[in-house]
Amino acid sequence: MFVIVLGAPGVGKGTQANLLSQAFTIPHISTGDILRDAYKNQTQLGIEAHRLISKGNFVPDELVIGIIKETLLEDRCTNGVVLDGFPRTLPQAKTLDALFIELNTKDLFLVNLTVGDEEIIRRLTSRRTCHDCHSVFSLIEIEDDGKCPICGGENSLFHRSDDTEEVIKKRMGIFENQTLPVINYYDETRTLITVDGAQTIANVYQDIITKINATKL
């Protein structure tokens, strides 16, 4: 079973991808995780991607696709994956389609989370990230200031430098220009499951599960 979670920054892709990973017992893989793991394993593609990132350059679509293919061929991905934050561009989406055909991938579900712009800005300006486990939380989810609710790391939470309103608006602009066409493409070529991401985490998750089960019928 393969699930792709799509949506603008701050809609809750990572949170829902993690829940779906647990529900279906398949790996949750984000673009960042893929690049870090590829470099950690010292694959040729991973080393090249790290070289580009360390110089502040973007990783080309063909390189990201190569790393995605390496990841999907790993034993842990035999039964499927939950992809979070990929594909980000139309060329990536079309190449991923070809890769799924090559790998004879079945049971592919596309989940699109939607949230209003004002709510996205509110969420991202108030979120914190854990240095240790890389989990992300909003301030209302943190009971003990400075302590990670997941790994318990002391003084491990920080506010990302790109979680300012100015930077967030730029990221939303990039999403509209580069990733929104991906969502429109999938809406035209496949069954796209759209869910209101402004609900509670539990309700968003239940909505996704209900619509995935309905799509299976």
* Catalytic residue set: 13, 88, 127, 160, 171
Nearest to 137 by CA among 34, 21, 18, 25: 18
Among left, alpha and beta (phi > 0; psi -120 to 50; other), residue 28 is beta
Long-range contacts from 159-167, C-beta under 8 angstroms, 24+ separation: 159/127, 159/128, 159/129, 160/127, 160/129, 163/124, 163/125, 163/127, 164/125, 165/121, 165/125
Nearest to 87 by CA among 75, 97, 76: 97
SS3 content of the chain, % helix, strand, coil (to 5): 55, 15, 30
Q: What tokens were used for 163?
A: 């979680």
Do 7 and 179 meet the contact criterion of CB atoms below 8 Å apart? Answer: no
Do 154 and 146 meet the contact criterion of CB atoms below 8 Å apart? Answer: yes
Nearest to 127 by CA among 109, 152, 110, 148: 148
